[in-house]
Structure 1
Amino acid sequence: MGDSAMRNGPRRLIALSFALFSALAFLSFVCAQTRPNAKQNARQIAPEAPAKSTGEFAAGPVFIYEFTQPEFYVRHIIIEHDVTGKGKISFERKDVDDVLSDQLELSPAALARINALWQALGYLESRTSYQAKKQFAHLGTIKLCVKRDGKEKWTTFNWTEDKSAAALATEYRRLADQAILVFDLKVARENQPLATPKLLDTLEHLLARNELADPPQLVPLLRDLAMDERLPLIARNAATRALKKIERMERAEK
């Protein structure tokens, strides 16, 4: 019995050690499976701050731009903002019932141009009809409005020969193009990364044609896109090219 116990002792010790090692390995595997991914956990702990409620405007006049053309892909656009440039954009796409909206904040440069044009029109005091004799309804209908002290004034035209009114409509169109593109990029980044290359291609075309309200305002978003490894490489490269293009534009303006 003594000799048998001595012979079996090392075997039992080895078996016990193996069982303990297996248990520890299994426990490590379970912990690894239940531990959340670091990036996912960070997102859960610190999500993006919710946007402020729409319609929160500073005291004073509210400016409204509305565009309608049922046959266009983006068939209806409404931009509302206060004197500080804070507001919202709402838009509808053809054959889509939902109205999409997002918070909007005009850059100081865009706001200065728009304010100057409103002042040039002397809008609230003016009785001018901005509609030209020629009709170009196929280009869409534009409505301008200012609300102040419980009163509001609307003007409608599809073509105008008034330079300030035409320039104001152009500024709002550029503002809408930029805001809608930013909205689409944010949605695609989170839900459909493979759609980002096409959107960034659109961005490059708009940059080349000077069709955006204030390209430097896009720099923070483009930097994030250029570093986001969830996006296709072609999208990250396009974001980098757009950043360099904006930098060149800024240098040329100085």
Structure 2
Amino acid sequence: MTPETTPEPAASPVSPSPEASPSPAAERQVNVYFIRDEKIATAHRQIPASPRPATEAIQALLAGPTEAEQAAGMSTAIPEGTTLNGIVIEAGLATVDLSGDFESGGGSFSMLARLAQVVYTLTQFPTVEQVRFELDGQPVEVFGSEGIALDQPVSRATYEDLTPAILVESPAIGDTVSGPLQASGTANVFEATFQIEILDEAGNQLAHQVVTATSGSGMRGTFDVTIPFTVSEPGSGTVVAYELSAKDGSRINEVRIPVEFQP
């Protein structure tokens, strides 16, 4: 397969755009998607500012989570040894060709999770809406011994059951942040409303904001908010996103993202 035969798109709005004329050593940030608490979770990677960011992003995905990300509960369902043969992007469809190792081992959850990881990583780019899989150059219609149908292109919506109610795509685990915090991602929560708070290392609240996604109550919407906060010195902290239960007001669907603060 010829890798990425069409010009590559810019990264999604949650990632910084490259400079108009980057130097050969310039980098850009992209998202890669791992598994945390049996749901999709976002990590950030710096990749070369090449014309093929989808290829670079998938290569970063295949490398797996860092030690710090693993310590925070991230893992990958993609089998070790899986390699990328190539990617072709045309008319909103990315055809990704992976080595046969991608199909080895694991039960139904692992099989679905690894597919979702690839789909999420590719569909962050605005010219990719759907994904089709190949293994060693051969189209995949039924995936693995679990018999997962892949005879039609798949999208993020295919893996809604593996997507957390609140998917924070920025910040990600281990990011260095300073005030104001830009938080973005997607959510499928009651009446599209949830909470974000910023805590210092001791658990003291530095900021709190009610967030409203573009849709909710069964439909996944997007959110992108700016949350003012300040710190006087570098340190560790946590960004916490959660929904308040309509039944009893308790916290549900909580996501905790450890970060580093920079004044």
TM-score by length of 1: 0.27
TM-score by length of 2: 0.26
Considering fraction of residues, name the structure with more helix.
1
Considering fraction of residues, name the structure with more strand.
2
Greater relative contact order: 1 or 2 (C-alpha under 8 angstroms, separation 6 or more)? Answer: 2
